[in-house]
């Protein structure tokens, strides 16, 4: 037994926990069955280092890949769960749905490049679904946001769902609709307002906000309205505009300050500052970035565990854009035989 200290232990515990709390943020969300924070600690100990080191290089050349990877995470998880279904080629596939047309092909390639690097180091044991989550986590961190420790162990789907891709939230809808859309995934009002803060980085095409350009939305800041009107002569214009007019490349809480100044881009963004269930949270996050980061982390971890495949379900893909066919199964059996200890 350790010698009792002169301070009551409850006091020192309090001290330690409050020190932890103020020095770095840890999500209070627990992992779902089958996932674990140390899933690959024996089988692929360099996984997280390989991923972040490669992404540092990618973002140095192409900072826009950070938001592109974050939105891939969202659209993968929201449709049939975080199972890599969005990554699959199809004829048609999930990505051919209108709401997925903005998904960037170079960012999808980055996910497969990461898979290749990881497979070279560890063999085929890390799923494309896990790599997608790790890439989004690092995109947030390397853009100035919080470092989110994520549970791992997801497996890749054997199919995708075109139908479910139609359930993604729409930029033209109001909070009323947005809240219902997320509630169907057990994400509450706080989760929605925090997750919407992902629109602190990245860009959008004219057709996604043209409903506010013509006819001009009176609820939009006049300066922003002018900029958008000159960026988008028609809804078909292929131009884009920043989601966060203040700090478009930095993951911070300026998104909420934009909303308070009527500088949100989508109807779904700006209406968060109109609906009385969400307005207070917008004001709170605008004033307190640490609290925004905390709530964002909690919601990110929840979303990252939606309908995951674990255990013997699904598979570990050998290529992120196709399910393992007969040929690659044979090839991997040969790999396994070669790798047997002698
Ligand atoms: C509240 C409901 C949401 C709606 C209606 C919505 C809608 C959209 C739309 C229409 C775009 C532009 C797509 C394009 O023009 O290519 C976009 C971009 C983006 N969204 Fe959302 N989104 C929502 C929630 C989220 C969430 C939860 C996340 C992530 C956690 C997210 C992350 C992003 C990012 C990072 C971009 C920029 C992509 C890029 O620059 O390549 N969004 N969103
Ligand atoms: C995909 O596979 C899962 C598991 O086998 C199944 O429950 C689901 O219905 C399938 N989805 C589609 C769209 O075929
Ligand atoms: C959401 O927006 C779409 C497109 O503007 C519209 O057709 C639909 O009716 C809206 N949904 C609801 C429930 O209001
Ligand atoms: C929001 O939805 C509720 C029902 O869920 C409805 O009673 C209300 O009229 C809707 N409000 C708006 C502004 O659409
Ligand atoms: C938008 O731009 C068009 C020209 O492309 C111009 O005719 C129109 O007056 C502008 N509207 C506003 C509200 O600035
Ligand atoms: C929001 O406003 C409606 C009336 O528009 C009211 O019935 C409701 O109690 C308000 N809710 C909150 C949380 O303030």
Per-residue confidence band for 17, with pLDDT thresholds at 50, 70 and 90 = very low
Binding site membership for Ca(2+): which residues?
A: 76, 79, 81, 83, 85, 94, 200, 244, 247, 252
Pocket, ligand 5, Cβ cutoff 6 A: 216, 226, 229, 233
- Checking if the pLDDT of 5 tops 80, the result is no
* Mutation pick for ligand 2 pocket among 88, 155, 159, 313 (CB with most ligand atoms within 8 Å): 159
Whether the per-residue pLDDT at 66 is higher than 90: the answer is: yes
State pLDDT tens for residues 79-100. 999 999 999 999 999 999 999 9
Report whether residue 78 contacts ligand 1, using a CB cutoff of 6 Å: no
Banded model confidence at residue 28, pLDDT cuts 50, 70, 90: confident
Look at residue 337 in the predicted model and tell me its pLDDT.
46
Q: Ligand 1 centroid vs 60 CA: distance in angstroms?
A: 22
Model-wide pTM > 0.85: yes
* Known binding-site positions for substrate: 169
Per-domain residue ranges for the chain? 33-167+305-336, 175-303
Pair 299, 194: CB distance under 8 Å: yes
Instruction: Provide the annotated active-site residues.
Output: 75
pLDDT band at 243 (very low <50, low <70, confident <90, very high): very high
pLDDT higher than 70, residue 15: no
Record: fold of 33-167+305-336: Peroxidase; domain 1 (1.10.520)
pLDDT value of position 194? 99
Give 32's pLDDT tier (boundaries 50, 70, 90): confident
> Is the per-residue pLDDT at 341 higher than 60?
no
Identify which ligand lies nearest to the alpha carbon of 155. 2
CA distance 193 to 171: 14
Could you identify the atom of ligand 2 that is nearest to the CA of residue 162? 13
The alpha-helical segments, DSSP class H, found in the chain are 9-23, 47-61, 65-78, 105-122, 128-142, 162-165, 175-183, 189-196, 222-231, 254-260, 267-270, 279-287, 289-303, 326-339
Which segments are annotated as binding site?
76, 79, 81, 83, 85, 94, 169, 199-200, 244, 247, 252
Closest residue to atom 13 of ligand 6, CA basis: 277
Which pLDDT does position 331 carry in this prediction? 57
The response to whether residue 18 sits with its C-beta less than 6 Å from ligand 2 reads no
pLDDT of residue 167: 94
pLDDT per position as a tens digit, 269-286: 999 999 999 999 999 999
Q: Residue 11: pLDDT above 60?
A: no
Q: Tell me: pLDDT of 168 over 70.
A: yes
Q: What is the pLDDT of residue 6?
A: 43
- Is the CB of 206 within 6 Å of ligand 1? no
Evaluate whether 33-167+305-336 and 175-303 have a shared fold.
no
From 37-41, 108-112, 338-342, the region with the lowest mean pLDDT = 338-342
Residues 159, 86: Cα–Cα separation, whole Å: 10
Q: Is 187 in the pocket of ligand 1 (CB under 6 A)?
A: no
107 neighbors 69 (Cβ within 8 angstroms): yes
Tell me what pLDDT residue 33 has: 86
- pLDDT (0 to 100) of residue 335: 52
pLDDT, average across residues 4-18: 43
CB of 161 sitting under 6 A from ligand 2:
yes
What's the gap in Å between 170 CA and the centre of ligand 3? 8
CA nearest to 171, candidates 237, 74, 270, 282: 270
Distance from the alpha carbon of residue 275 to the mean position of ligand 6, in angstroms: 9
Percent of the chain whose pLDDT exceeds 90: 85
Is the Cβ atom of 85 under 6 angstroms away from ligand 2?
Answer: no
SS (H, E, C) 290-303: HHHHHHHHHHHHHH
Q: Which of 199, 201, 266 to mutate to test the pocket of ligand 1 (most atoms within 8 A of CB)?
A: 199
CATH of domain 175-303: 1.10.420.10
Encoding tokens for residue 12? Answer: 């020192």
């Amino acid at each position: 037994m350790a010698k009792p200290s002169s301070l009551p232990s409850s006091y020192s515990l309090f001290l330690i926990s409050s020190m932890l709390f103020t020095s770095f943020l840890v999500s209070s969300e627990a992992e779902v069955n089958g996932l674990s924070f140390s899933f690959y600690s024996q089988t692929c100990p360099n996984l997280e280092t390989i991923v972040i080191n490669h992404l540092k290089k990618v973002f140095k050349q192409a900072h826009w890949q950070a938001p592109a990877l974050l939105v891939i995470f969202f659209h993968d998880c929201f449709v049939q769960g975080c199972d890599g279904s969005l990554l699959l080629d199809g004829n048609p596939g999930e990505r051919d749905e209108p709401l997925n047309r903005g998904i960037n092909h170079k960012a999808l390639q980055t996910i497969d490049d990461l898979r290749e690097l990881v497979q070279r180091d560890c063999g085929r044991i890390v799923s494309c679904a896990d790599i997608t989550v790790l890439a989004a986590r690092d995109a947030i961190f390397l853009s100035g946001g919080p470092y989110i420790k994520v549970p791992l162990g997801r497996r890749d789907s054997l199919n995708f769902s075109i139908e479910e891709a139609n359930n993604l939230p729409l930029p033209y809808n109001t909070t009323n609709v947005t809240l219902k859309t997320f509630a169907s995934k057990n994400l509450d009002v706080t989760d929605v307002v925090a997750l919407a803060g992902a629109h602190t980085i990245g860009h959008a095409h004219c057709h996604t906000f043209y409903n506010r350009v013509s006819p001009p939305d009176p609820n939009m800041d006049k300066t922003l309205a002018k900029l958008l009107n000159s960026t988008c002569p028609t809804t078909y214009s292929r131009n884009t505009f920043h989601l966060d007019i203040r700090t478009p490349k930095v993951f911070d809480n300026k998104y909420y300050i934009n909303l308070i100044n009527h500088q949100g881009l989508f109807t779904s963004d700006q209406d968060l500052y109109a609906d009385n269930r969400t307005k207070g949270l917008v004001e709170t996050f605008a004033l307190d970035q640490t609290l925004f980061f905390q709530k964002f982390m909690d919601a990110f971890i929840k979303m990252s565990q939606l309908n995951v495949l674990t255990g013997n379900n699904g598979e570990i893909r050998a290529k992120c854009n196709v399910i393992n066919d007969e040929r690659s199964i044979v090839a991997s059996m040969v790999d396994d035989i070669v790798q047997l200890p002698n």
